[in-house]
């Protein structure tokens, strides 16, 4: 690939770092209006919804059922009060068994 690759990597590294760094340092110590800070506090929960759906349905190409079962099992374990780790490992376990049969 050569030198071009490394220039591209530098560019990618910069445009990835900037959106991570600017809000954390520039907003530091600033009081935001309550409505803005309210919206910001909503973001973690909204982003999780957007990250999970629809992507979870497509984890296995051409088999939506795989993702539906995975999401279902994960919701179930989490709802029963399992920690993040048991949700992750439990879901992998169930899908591993399922994959043996398809």
Q: Does 68 bind another protein (CB under 8 A)?
A: no
Burial grade of 74 (CB within 10 A; 0-12, 13-18, 19 or more):
buried
Q: Which of residues 1-60 bind another protein (CB under 8 A)?
A: 1, 4-13, 15-17, 19-25, 27-29, 32, 34-35, 37-56, 59-60
- CB of 68 vs another protein, minimal distance in Å: 11
- CB of 91 vs another protein, minimal distance in Å: 4
Q: Please, are residues 63 and 102 in contact by the beta-carbon 8 Å criterion? A: yes
């Amino acid at each position: 690939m050569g030198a071009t690759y490394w220039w591209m990597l530098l560019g990618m590294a910069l445009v990835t770092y900037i959106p991570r760094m600017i809000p954390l340092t520039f907003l530091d110590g600033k009081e935001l209006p309550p409505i803005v800070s309210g919206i910001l506090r909503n973001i973690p929960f909204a982003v999780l919804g957007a990250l999970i759906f629809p992507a979870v349905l497509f984890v296995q190409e051409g088999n939506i059922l795989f993702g539906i079962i995975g999401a279902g099992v994960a919701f179930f374990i989490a709802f029963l009060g399992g920690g993040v780790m048991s949700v992750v490992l439990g879901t992998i376990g169930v899908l591993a068994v399922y994959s043996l049969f398809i």
